[in-house]
Structure 1
Amino acid sequence: MRLLKLNSEKVTWIVTCPKGAEELLANELSSLSATEISSSVGFVRADGGTQLGYKICLWSRLASRVLFPIHRFKETNAEEMYLEIRNIPWEDHIKIGSTICVDFDGKSKSIQNSLFGAQKVKDAIVDRLIIACNTRPDVDTKSPDIRINVKLKKGFFQVYLDFSGSSLHRRGYRVGQGTAPLKENLAALILNRSHWKKTADEGGFLIDPMCGSGTFLIEAAMIAANIAPGILRESYGFLEWKQYESNIWDGLLSDARSKRKVGLAELDIEIKGHDINPRIIEVAAKNIEKAGLDEYIKVSQRSIDSIAAPTVQKGLFITNPPYGERLGDKDNLNKLYKLTGEILKTKFKGWKAGIFSGNDESVRAIDLSPSKIYKLNNGTLSCKLLIFEHLNSKSELIESRIARPAPEPQLNDSSSMILNRLIKNERRLSSWLKLNNINSYRLYDCDIPEFAAAVDIYGADILVQEYAAPKQIPISVATKRFQEIKAAVKVFSIRNGLQVFYRRRVRQRGSEQYSKTIKSKSIVRIIEEGPAKFEINLSDYLDTGLFLDHRPLRNDFMKLCKDKTFLNLFCYTGTATVLAALSGAKSSLSIDMSRTYLDWTRRNFGLNNIDLNSHQLLRQDCLEWLSGSHQKFDIIFLDPPTFSNSKKMSTTFDLQRDHPSLIKAACKKLSKDGTLIFSNNFRKFRMNECILDSYVCADVTDKTIDRDFERNKKIHKVWLIKNTEENI
């Protein structure tokens, strides 16, 4: 009989784990200095001394049980098995007065079920201790001092001492739970597969919008702060083992406590959880407090549709939504998953997401393309972890692939010339774009005059806007030229992996300025500009919602508006106000008479977590408001249309004709030393002499033209205007 000594220098530990965690557990054991590591389904073998067993119990986030092999022998009948087990010197391992429990796994001709096998093993151990110590241990199946594990597999019996005792997923912080809690080591596995440690090290945040009792949140904080997962456990299998080396364990525990203190001191990220159920949020808060992490994790009762956009550009959106048992109605379940996808696409651009679910049908409603899928089990349920590294609509991507043939079309001379210009411009701008972290810009603007179009890049999309041809150009010629532009852009988009959208620019009047141009499915994107996020629409309106040429102006608002009051007249989609608010503007008022644009502004505010109490929106004719209001502002942005005859206005508006009265009215709203930023895009605009004579005016147009608009310096005109002593 070959017996293994527990205090030997080289021991082959058996470490069990959830299915699908074997590879990661092997890496984890390697980091704990284990050697000769090999994996099988549901467990990992690893060599190391006794200290390794203690380390695994304290530091493994993925392990379920840590088993030490005491004895191995060939399969025999039940009586011979009894004798083999009885010959093991159990008095070297079990103290007098300790309780025991036996787990048996396997069957043979003479051992038909696990209960019988466990009974025979228990009898052998008890009989040995009666002979050796003149005492018998009590059996405790719920919380024994010593747990023995026997497996019958492939013709051999293997006897183990369970070093961990109860499963290691029981960290010691759970004081309550919901109806379908995740085991802690499964949550750690999901976070590991979602690359949370890397995200946290890079300063990324974490949010779980359906956090339940807070398992993801607590495990995420422990990972980010390098907290040993077993640091709170009060019970381990080795604590009552006769050969327990308290000096080793106490040293490891002391080191883990020191690392916890350092890790929490350096933890500088947000970890947030929400749930619609107020009772489960109370449970989560208690679990977090028990874990000692209530200063680092914030939870609140909130539905997923009310979650604000994050304040950082990268992070992990992780959640375990209901599979069906917790929600009942399949339609409601699908709506929840669809809403989750919409929230990800509109509010969490730049983040990664991990969705763990056992409902394949509902997962499809998310409408995102997973970059990886892992098959895992949650108890007896077969589930999948879907990792989303790019939060773009799956259906739109499919439509894009169908619409975009793989081979490049043959180009004629004109199209080749346009393509070469696009490539040349891209090269010219590339270093500037990279230096300034710009991903939305103008690539082409009538560079070749007969090919009259603007080509704009918005992240992974390219928008081509055809300018209406002069009347003297035959329609057939204009059509042919635009087809040649489209051919060139198509090749450029294929080479750069861009999705193409087309539009025709014509002067709009009245309600046309605010109405949709087509009735197809809206194509909405979230793009980033500096610290801000903006919603753009590539399908429905003449403009996308973001004037690219105003980029330098928006940057100026970041510098000018800190601790100032800000007024945005003809506010459009509120992008200027967003930058003003993010810069620290004290308060702001944004005015437009279009409900469409104000709703759009409100969504942009939501994307950037802007407080609507301090930064207010008003739907009104700006001309009427100027004539009636008595409010004063430090900074006023005035960017009126060139012409308007909307039915909502009491009269028509012509910029060249009416700008003197408009500027005078706006200047009356300036506080002392306030500044009016007056902008327009009328190419033939000339500032009226009465304004130049009556106010302090500075034409700063040249300073507000970025590199991508250098070929079109008439794209807009910008003036800084201040009151003189006479007109204050």
Structure 2
Amino acid sequence: MRRFFATCPKGLEYLLRDELVALGAEAVREGLAGVHFQGPLETGYRACLWSRLASRVLMPLAEFGAATEDALYDGVAAIDWSEHLAVDATLAVDAHGGTDALRHTRYLAQRVKDAVVDQFRDREGARPGVDTREPSIRLNLLLRKDRATLSLDLSGTPLHRRGYRVGQGEAPLKENLACALLLRAGWPAIFAAGGALVDPMCGSGTLLIEAAWMAADAAPGLRRSYFGFLGWRGHDAETWARLKTEAETRAHAGLSALPAVFFGYDQDARVLEEAKRNAQQAGVAGFVHLARRDVAHLERPEGGDAPGLIICNPPYGERIGQHEALVPVYRTLGAHALAGFDGWRLAVITSDDGLAHAIGLRADKRYVLFNGALECRLFVFGLGGEAAPRAQPDKPLGPGAEAVANRVTKTARHLRKRLEREAVHCWRVYDADLPEYAAAIDVYVGQPEGQPATAAQAYLHVQEYAPPREIPEAVARTRLADLVRGAGRALDIPRERIATKTRYRAKGGSQYGRHDARGEFLVVEEGGLKFLVNLHDYLDTGLFLDHRPVRLRIQAEARGRSVLNLFCYTASASVHAAGGGAAATTSVDLSATYLDWAARNFALNGIGGPSHRLLQADSMQWLAHDRGHYDLVFVDPPTFSNSKRADDFDVQRDHVRLLELCRQRLAPDGLIVFSNNNRRFRLDAEALPGLAIRDITAATIPFDFARNPRIHQCFELRHAG
């Protein structure tokens, strides 16, 4: 078994994960701009040959500490390079990342190359050469947090270079992005049902060719003449030959049976000629109809009786022309698609939401994708049947909803720059700012679990505080409706992405009563880490937004330390600690549900192993019996609890005993961070003579909670003296 990492454009990680699983990869998990997987060498070869989405396939050779230039050189030199490279062969090195001491990637690549060639020179008196285009082997260095990962680049050159592109238009799509659009638009299922594909702005034909190859079961790497493993000494030529033969057989069978259902149009005769040459080079020219035609003459192809797909990459305005000039093009596309393609699907990628709006249709789905460095959205529309033009503007808001909308708009505008600057994705936009509309409204920007980050959208979580008993129920319902409608209108968030709850104090003080049973989780980001939140099923979402600065503080303090998280809930603070380089984390909670949630949070960030423990226990009882010592203890207990499986707990009554138990487990130079959200809480410092206490509440209130600074209290405690 070998380990691999397939890189991909940002936002394609989940699609690539599914693709690699289908190719037989094992232990598959998403990473940053790529996917980790395992398998025999054949699995790596198969990914190079068959992946439509990956950019490169890397096979790690070694991982080692590289805090200094000498450590980097020594780590590379420790590898026996004669096992990988002949003395008369060539190599190239790509470097990424860096540390505070090692920042220049070109120099890092040079030092890796030096270590390799110096080893050969010392042993054999000769050295390999350098070839940056098609070397015998290409090495890939990733340097992060003083750790180096040195990999063999099995792909050699980016896998989106399929080998068929002769020419390209002014705004070309990379081939792997084109495949992502086709998959998101549902092309495989549409083709299987007998549907055709039309690209009314086909340019050099990338979408048409990739769609044809996908339909014909043609391996995207089959026409490539170069891979990075062909000159590697560990290359298994027999396995590679077998895989190619299998791919050739499948492609021949698929192309022999492929119907001519691919139609491409463009008004530029020059790029149409490029499309024809590309289609010929790809071996699909006989299946693709190309014609010079503008979008105003878009019509359903003859024989296109089964529902098909219209898909295109039109000009965006940033690169070709201006927004105002393109609005009629998008409007014409939408009108002709709706009028002539009943039952079909329309998919359009653009970086300008205003242009997408000009299409005049209501999108069924939208996905965030990146065309190079340009952030775009893929809009997918149903045509005909129940599909309808974009809804007319909502009727005017009533006075109450209008007041909410104005307040939310003002707050969002005020916070916008800081939210962007600090990369805050989950934040509070309203907290009972208008007395008669008593609610907390939080914004969560994320994507449904299992969807790529490019599918991220804004969601609202509306927690209505229990109205006074003298308020009639009908009035309370009207006010809640005003809250939802006003906030949704202000932030342009549709009703289906708004969760509403009423925060009554549950009988017995339970804070986590179940509300629904949807099982729908969003993946959100905080401090460069990912977390699962659930907006519907529980009173709280899995991430206490007011503790964002506390979690970031823990992340900054955690490097090299052992961290204990009591009453850990979904262990978001533990994930922050692990993300900050904690040597070990221990998370304790009584709820199996939340510990399972915590485990998923760890897995979502690629963190695991025996160094990160999740323990189901009553925190007070566990502390009384534990004999470990911890450098950093985070304790955020409920105000009170009377669970049947644990002793009753009241934070005001029991905090002295709790903190004394924490002190006994605290390392000599350790730190306790103690927080709670009981607004009437008073810490009894005199009863804790063994601890030096500092109130850090003001520093831990997020800027978006400044309107309600009593949301929690927070203290730092250390050994006295």
Displacement of 1:395? 8.4
**Superposition map of 1:412-491 within 5 A:** none
**Partners of 1:370 and 1:386 within 8 A in 2:** yes
Match of 2:332 in 1: 339
**Partners of 1:367 and 1:393 within 8 A in 2:** no
2:176 to 178, 185, 201: 185
Match of 1:232 in 2: 223
| TM-aligned CA distance change 1:74 to 1:399, over 3 Å | same
2:281 paired with 1:279: no
Read off the aligned partner of 1:297 and give its amino acid letter.
V
In structure 2, what is the Cα distance between the partners aligned to 1:402 and 1:393?
22
Superposed CA deviations along residues 128-175 of structure 1, whole A, max 9, x for unmatched, are: 121233321222223323110011113311000000000000000001
In structure 1, what is the Cα distance between the partners aligned to 2:390 and 2:348?
20
Superposed CA deviations along residues 225-248 of structure 1, whole A, max 9, x for unmatched, are: 100000100010011111111111
**Superposition map of 1:166-315 within 5 A:** 166-310=157-301, 311-315=304-308
> Does the residue aligned with 1:289 lie in a helix, a strand or coil?
helix
Structure 1: stretches of 5+ with no match in the other structure: 1-9, 404-728
**Partners of 1:91 and 1:133 within 8 A in 2:** no
Match of 1:80 in 2: 71
Displacement of 1:250? 0.8
In structure 2, what is the Cα distance between the partners aligned to 1:212 and 1:325?
17
2:369 paired with 1:357: no
**Superposition map of 1:618-633 within 5 A:** none
Superposed CA deviations along residues 552-581 of structure 1, whole A, max 9, x for unmatched, are: xxxxxxxxxxxxxxxxxxxxxxxxxxxxxx
Displacement of 1:393? 11
Read off the aligned partner of 1:334 and give its amino acid letter.
V
1:92 to 83, 90, 104: 83
> Does the residue aligned with 1:71 lie in a helix, a strand or coil?
strand
In structure 1, what is the Cα distance between the partners aligned to 2:308 and 2:387?
21
**Superposition map of 1:323-338 within 5 A:** 323-325=316-318, 327-338=320-331
| TM-aligned CA distance change 1:128 to 1:303, over 3 Å | same
In structure 2, what is the Cα distance between the partners aligned to 1:33 and 1:147?
25
> Does the residue aligned with 2:219 lie in a helix, a strand or coil?
coil
| TM-aligned CA distance change 1:346 to 1:77, over 3 Å | same
> Does the residue aligned with 2:103 lie in a helix, a strand or coil?
coil
| TM-aligned CA distance change 1:207 to 1:397, over 3 Å | closer
**Partners of 1:58 and 1:230 within 8 A in 2:** yes
Q: Percent identity?
A: 39
> Does the residue aligned with 1:295 lie in a helix, a strand or coil?
helix
In structure 2, what is the Cα distance between the partners aligned to 1:134 and 1:203?
64
Match of 1:429 in 2: none
**Partners of 1:369 and 1:392 within 8 A in 2:** no
Superposed CA deviations along residues 263-310 of structure 1, whole A, max 9, x for unmatched, are: 112222510101100000000000000001111111111111112223
Match of 2:119 in 1: 128
2:101 paired with 1:110: yes
Match of 2:455 in 1: none
2:154 paired with 1:163: yes
> Does the residue aligned with 1:237 lie in a helix, a strand or coil?
coil
In structure 1, what is the Cα distance between the partners aligned to 2:247 and 2:57?
19
1:26 to 17, 25, 32: 17
- Root-mean-square deviation (CA, aligned residues, Å) is 2.0
**Superposition map of 1:34-53 within 5 A:** 34-53=25-44
**Superposition map of 1:604-683 within 5 A:** none
Match of 1:399 in 2: 392
Which has more radius of gyration? 1
Match of 1:387 in 2: 380
In structure 1, what is the Cα distance between the partners aligned to 2:393 and 2:105?
57
In structure 2, what is the Cα distance between the partners aligned to 1:39 and 1:62?
14
Read off the aligned partner of 1:359 and give its amino acid letter.
D
Match of 1:428 in 2: none
In structure 1, what is the Cα distance between the partners aligned to 2:316 and 2:384?
22
Moved more, 241-250 or 63-72: 241-250
> Does the residue aligned with 1:199 lie in a helix, a strand or coil?
helix
**Partners of 2:56 and 2:159 within 8 A in 1:** yes
Match of 1:375 in 2: 368
In structure 2, what is the Cα distance between the partners aligned to 1:152 and 1:400?
52
Read off the aligned partner of 2:210 and give its amino acid letter.
E
In structure 1, what is the Cα distance between the partners aligned to 2:189 and 2:54?
21
Displacement of 1:341? 0.7
Match of 1:317 in 2: 310
Moved more, 286-295 or 151-160: 151-160
Superposed CA deviations along residues 37-90 of structure 1, whole A, max 9, x for unmatched, are: 110231101110100011001000001000000000123210121011112111
In structure 2, what is the Cα distance between the partners aligned to 1:135 and 1:370?
63
Structure 2: stretches of 5+ with no match in the other structure: 397-721
> Does the residue aligned with 1:239 lie in a helix, a strand or coil?
coil
Match of 1:722 in 2: none
Match of 2:639 in 1: none
> Does the residue aligned with 2:316 lie in a helix, a strand or coil?
coil
In structure 2, what is the Cα distance between the partners aligned to 1:154 and 1:92?
28
In structure 2, what is the Cα distance between the partners aligned to 1:401 and 1:34?
49
Read off the aligned partner of 1:122 and give its amino acid letter.
K
In structure 1, what is the Cα distance between the partners aligned to 2:41 and 2:380?
38
> Does the residue aligned with 2:38 lie in a helix, a strand or coil?
strand
> Does the residue aligned with 2:229 lie in a helix, a strand or coil?
helix
> Does the residue aligned with 2:392 lie in a helix, a strand or coil?
helix
In structure 2, what is the Cα distance between the partners aligned to 1:395 and 1:204?
21
Superposed CA deviations along residues 505-555 of structure 1, whole A, max 9, x for unmatched, are: xxxxxxxxxxxxxxxxxxxxxxxxxxxxxxxxxxxxxxxxxxxxxxxxxxx
Normalising by structure 2, we get a TM-score of 0.53
**Superposition map of 1:594-605 within 5 A:** none
In structure 2, what is the Cα distance between the partners aligned to 1:307 and 1:395?
19
> Does the residue aligned with 1:72 lie in a helix, a strand or coil?
strand
Read off the aligned partner of 1:341 and give its amino acid letter.
G
Normalising by structure 1, we get a TM-score of 0.53
In structure 2, what is the Cα distance between the partners aligned to 1:384 and 1:218?
22
In structure 2, what is the Cα distance between the partners aligned to 1:117 and 1:68?
19
2:43 paired with 1:55: no
Displacement of 1:399? 3.3
